Structure 1
Amino acid sequence: MNTAQEREEPVVVTLTGCSSEDADAVFRALGRSYSSDRAAHETPRYVSEGHATVWTTTFDVARPRGTPEPVRLAAPVTAELQGGYWAVDRMAAALATSFDVRQEGMDAGDQEKDVQLHLESGVRP
């Protein structure tokens, strides 16, 4: 029987209400701990100025590869996590080591859940 650590455990992370620099800071913080579908050199950028932008990346939380560190954000970020219960909980815990996190909502299904988080700087001035 496979354990969660032996198979892929994807979590889709969607960021809204933030600058491309803050989106990059969040994705880089998570990338220190988990592999993702983003190339290491890839940075979020606006496709169309003046419109709401949503950035999405999928991370595999089954095999952590590093420890997250506190990260500074210029402004709060809204993050939505989607995936299996165990995987979303693990991702939320990783975010809590890098940022001040407040849960704003949660929807649960049979095998997946969707959590909405409010992220603020994990680094104090």
Structure 2
Amino acid sequence: MATVSLTGASKEDAATVFGVLRTAFPTDRPSDDVPQEQPGDRTAVWTAEFEPTQEWIPTDPIPLEGSVSATLQGGYVAVDQLREALDVTFAVDERGTASGDQEKELDLRLTTKR
């Protein structure tokens, strides 16, 4: 299991990223659950958990309106599989990483693949 948190994105771009991951892997969110704007001046953070599997269905590149900051956190294999799925669909710029005994955290910037 790995957690994906998205920030700095429109709700449409967040829905696009989660949609790609939902197509590839089981998630804790129902299929009709989409990111919603929250009132106020706070920065939105959208989060979902995914259970990466060895066999997943890659998707073609999908455009984003802007860039999306994504943090992937979980076991090494799960985080690597999520990153691989994102890398097939979006341009991925790795911004940072933190590793522990059992978990890994990746900070990524996602944009449209050119």
Fold agreement, TM-score > 0.5: yes
| Counterpart in the other structure of 2:24 | 33
Deviating above 3 A after TM superposition, structure 1's stretches of 4 or more consecutive aligned residues are: none
Match of 1:110 among 87, 101, 106: 101
The separation in 2 between residues aligned to 1:65 and 1:105, in whole angstroms, is: 25
**1:75–1:120 CA contact under 8 A, matched in 2:** yes
The whole-number CA distance in structure 2 between the counterparts of 1:113 and 1:65 is 21
Moved more, 40-49 or 70-79: 40-49
CA contact (8 A) 1:35 1:61 kept: yes
Partner of 2:6: 15
Number of residue pairs matched? 114
1:1-125 superposed matches below 5 A: 10-122=1-113, 124=114
For structure 1, the 5+ residue unaligned runs are: 1-9
Question: How far off its partner does 1:11 sit?
Answer: 1.1
Q: In structure 2, what residue type is equivalent to 1:89?
A: D
What letter matches 2:87 in structure 1?
A
- What's 1:6 paired with? none
Q: CA RMSD in A?
A: 1.2
Structure of higher CA gyration radius: 1
- TM-score norm. by structure 2 comes to 0.94
C-alpha distance in 1, partners of 2:56/2:88? 15
Residue 50 (structure 1) shift: 2.9
